[in-house]
Chain A
Amino acid sequence: MSLMETLQTPFVWRALLGGLAIALITGPLGVFIVWRRMAYFGDTLAHSGLLGVCLGFLLGLSPTTGVLIVCLALAALLAFLQARERLAADTLLGLLAHTALALGLVALTFLETLRFDLSAFLFGDLLAIDNVDLLWVWSGSSIALAVLIAIWKPLLAATVDESLARAEGVPTGRAQAMFTLLVALVIACAMKIVGVLLITALLIIPAATAQRLARSPEHMAVLASLLGTIALLGGMAASLTLDTPAAASVVTCATLLFALSRIIPVRR
C-alpha cells in the first residue's frame, strides 16, 4: 500500500486528528511546564498511569477516568506534602512517581481478569485509536485550552514572580491550582495515544524548541503547538513508510526539530 492509499484509510485520519488535539494543547501547556520547571511533575503523573488504569477497572470506569482520578489525587497529595515536608520538590516527586508505579504493578497482579497491553500503555498506540478515544482527547484538550486561555494572564504573572503578583492582587493560588488540574487532565486524555513514557516529551520538547525562536510568551506557546503539529505529521509519515512505532517516531521528529532550531542562526 502506498502512502497515498494509506492516507485514505480511516485509522490514519483518526490518528492524525487525535495527534492534532494533543499537539494543540501540549504546546501552550508545555511552555508553562518549562517556565515553571515542572517537567518532572508531568513525568510523575504519567508514572501513575498504570495505577489509574487498575483503579478504573476496579471501579468499572474507563481507563482514562481512572487515570484522571489518580492524577488529581497525586497532584493534591503533592501540594499537601510540599506544605508539610521539608524535602525538595524533586525528592517528593520521585517518591510519588515510583510509589505510584510500584502500586500499579502490584495492583495489576491482583486483577487477573484485566487484559492489559503493557507495550501500548508504555509507548502509546496512535494508529489504534477509536472514536471514543478521539472524543476523549478532543474534549479534554479543548476544555484544557479554553481554561488555559482564561487563566493565562494571572498564571503568567504568577509564573514570572509569585510574590510580586500576589502583592499586586493577582489570584495566583487559584490560577496555579487550575493549571495543575489541566496538566492532570491532558496527561490522562493523551496517555492512551502517546503512552506514559512519551507524554512528557510532547510537553517539553516542542516548548524547548520554541524558546529560541520566540519573542513573547504567547509567541512561544503558538510556536510550540506548531512545532508539535509538524512533529506529528513528520512522525506519522515516517511511521507509515518505515513501519516504525508511531508515537516514538513523533517524539524523534520533535527532537530533530529541536536540534535543527539550535543549528539555524536566529537573529534576536
Chain B
Amino acid sequence: MTTSSSSETLLRVSTISFRRQGLTILDAIDLMLRREEIVTLIGPNGAGKSTLLKIALGLLTPDSGEVWRTSGIRTGYVPQKLNINPALPLTVRRFITLSAIASTHDVENVLTDAGIPFLINASVHTLSSGEWQRVLLARALLHKPALLFLDEPAQGLDISGQDAIYALIRRIRDTTGCGILLVSHDLHLVMASSNRVLCLNRHICCTGRPEEICHDPAYQTLFGSANLQHLALYQHRHDHEHPLCDHEHHHASSRSQHK
C-alpha cells in the first residue's frame, strides 16, 4: 500500500439533513472517509448515528445534501440488528454467501480471517452474540469491500469480546486498506481504534483525532458523566493501552458549551 493511495477519498457526505415527522434527525452533516482510515461516529442514543450510516451507505435518502461514493466501489455492511426467522434453516456458509458468488475456498478464508473457521456448517440460529458479530464481518469481507460500514459491531459483547472485535477491525483495515465507517456508543475501545472521531448529536458537535476529541468541551458536555463510569470500569485494564483520555477531563464539573 502506497502513501498516495492512502489519501484517496472513498466517501464524501456534504451538508446532508434528514427529517422525519417534522423532527430534524440530522442537520447539515459533513463527513469524509479515505482509504485505510477508520472514522467513528459516537454520540448518545437517538443522536442519528445509525441514520447517518444508512444515508452514507445509500439505504436512506437524505432530504437535502449530497452523498458521493467512488463509483463502482464495493461496500460491506454490518447492521445493528438482524432478525432472522427461526423457521428458516440456514448455515453460516449459506448465510454469508446469500448475495455473493463465492468458492468454498473464499468462504473458508473469510471465516478464518474472522477467527471462526469452525462455524462454517453451524446453524445461524445457534450462534452467540460474539459469533454473530464475527459472522457478519465475514459476510462483509466476502464481498471484498473497499468501504466498510459497521453499526455497533461490538454490541452485547463483554470487554474481552469487544477488544477482540476491535482488534479484528483494525487488522481488516491494515490488511485490506479499506475505509471503515463505524458507529458506536462505547467510547474507550473505539477511541483507540479510530483515526478520526465524529461526535454526533443530530448535528456534528466536534470532530478530530481521538486524543483531541477527548479534550473538546462539546465532547465533555455530551459524555461527561457517562464517561466517568466507563473509566472507572475500564481503567485497570485499558489505561496502559490507550492513555489518550485523561480521567479528569471527563468530570461532570468541566461541562462547557460549544459554539
Contacts and interface: CB of A to CB of B under 8 A. Distances in A.
Interface of A: 34-37, 153-154, 156-157, 159-161, 163-170, 208, 211, 214-217, 219-220, 268
A36 B139 CA distance: 22
B100 interface: yes
Contacts of B95: 160
Contacts of A214: 89
A211 to B, nearest CB: 5
Contacts of A167: 57-59, 75-77, 79, 149
B89 A164 contact: no
B90 interface: yes
Contacts of A161: 79, 82-84
B77 A156 contact: no
Contact of B89 (A153, A169, A215): A215
Nearest to A36: B85
A156 B99 CA distance: 9
A168 B84 contact: no
B88 interface: yes
B87 interface: yes
A217 B84 contact: no
B162 interface: no
Contact of A165 (B83, B85, B98): B98
B94 interface: yes
Interface string B50-90: 00001001110000000000000001110100111101111
B79 A35 contact: no
B87 A164 contact: no
Contacts of B99: 153-154, 157, 165, 168-170
Given A168-B143, A217-B90, 10 more contacts: A34-B87, A35-B85, A153-B98, A156-B98, A161-B79, A161-B82, A164-B139, A167-B76, A208-B87, A216-B94
Nearest to A172: B99
A215 B123 CA distance: 9
21 contacts: A34-B85, A34-B87, A35-B85, A36-B85, A153-B99, A160-B95, A161-B84, A163-B54, A164-B77, A165-B99, A167-B57, A167-B79, A169-B99, A208-B87, A211-B87, A211-B89, A214-B89, A216-B91, A216-B94, A217-B94, A220-B88
* SS of B interface (majority): loop
Nearest to B60: A163
Given A160-B98, A161-B82, A168 B77 contact: yes
Contacts of A159: 85, 88
Interface of B: 54, 57-59, 75-77, 79, 82-85, 87-91, 94-95, 98-100, 123, 139, 143, 149
Contacts of B100: 168
B65 to A, nearest CB: 20
A167 B98 CA distance: 12
Contacts of B91: 216
Task: Identify whether the interface residues of A are mostly helix, strand, loop, or mixed.
Answer: helix
A69 to B, nearest CB: 31
B57 to A, nearest CB: 6
A37 B98 contact: no
Contacts of A36: 85
Contacts of B149: 167
Contacts of B58: 167
A46 B230 CA distance: 56
A219 B59 contact: no
Contact of A163 (B75, B77, B84): B77
Contacts of A168: 75-77, 99-100, 143
A64 B59 CA distance: 39
Contacts of A153: 98-99
B211 to A, nearest CB: 32
Contacts of A215: 89
B86 to A, nearest CB: 9
Contacts of A157: 98-99
A165 B214 CA distance: 36
A153 B87 CA distance: 18
A167 B89 CA distance: 23
Nearest to A220: B89
A214 B38 CA distance: 41
A37 to B, nearest CB: 7
A35 B77 contact: no
A168 B87 CA distance: 24
Contacts of A156: 98
Contacts of B89: 211, 214-217, 219-220
Which one of A37, A157, A166, A168 has the highest number of Cβ atoms from chain B below 10 Å of its Cβ? A168
A159 B94 CA distance: 13
Contacts of B88: 35, 159-160, 217, 220
B95 to A, nearest CB: 7
A83 to B, nearest CB: 13
